[in-house]
Structure 1
Amino acid sequence: MPRYEFRCRECSSVFEVNRPMSASGDPAACPTGHQDTVKLLSTVAVTGSARTVSAGPAPSGGCCGGGCGCG
């Protein structure tokens, strides 16, 4: 089950909530009882021994590979 990270705007504590992806946007109460929280963006690290199959050169340009026109 995915884990989402939240920060309380009242006490600044950071906490994690495990919930299904279908509930990812639902609000989460601070463990100390505050309701004013915000979901944080977090990076995901994936490790393992899977082989990478290359289909050609990686896209280049911009922050997202140039697909959005930003680069």
Structure 2
Amino acid sequence: MPRYEFRCRACGDTFEVNRSMAAAGEPASCPQGHADTVKLLSAVAVTGRGGASAPAAGGCCGGSCGC
């Protein structure tokens, strides 16, 4: 289940909430009980060990459309 990070505008506390992607936009109350919170943007890096690399050239479709 995805984890979303929120910050409380009242007390400044930052906290995480696990919820489905369908509920990602719903408000979250701070652990201190405040309702004025904002969802933070998180940068996520995903790496793999497959050894495959992205094509070096390409544009929008790998270079086969001539764009």
Settle same-fold status: TM greater than 0.5. yes
Q: State the shift of 1:6 in Å.
A: 0.2
Provide the aligned length of Structure 1 versus Structure 2: 59
Give the secondary-structure state (helix, strand or coil) at the position aligned to 2:5.
strand
What residue is the counterpart of 2:57 in the other structure? 57
> Following TM superposition, where does structure 1 have runs of at least 4 consecutive aligned residues deviating by more than 2 angstroms?
50-56
Higher Cα radius of gyration: 2
Give the secondary-structure state (helix, strand or coil) at the position aligned to 1:38.
strand
**TM-score for the superposition, normalised by structure 2:** 0.76
Question: What are the within-5 Å matches in structure 2 for residues 1-71 of structure 1?
Answer: 1-57=1-57, 59=59
Q: Which runs of 5+ in 1 are unaligned?
A: 60-71
The 2-side partners of 1:55 and 1:38 are apart by: 38
What residue is the counterpart of 2:62 in the other structure? none
Give the secondary-structure state (helix, strand or coil) at the position aligned to 1:15.
strand
Aligned CA RMSD, in angstroms, stands at 1.7
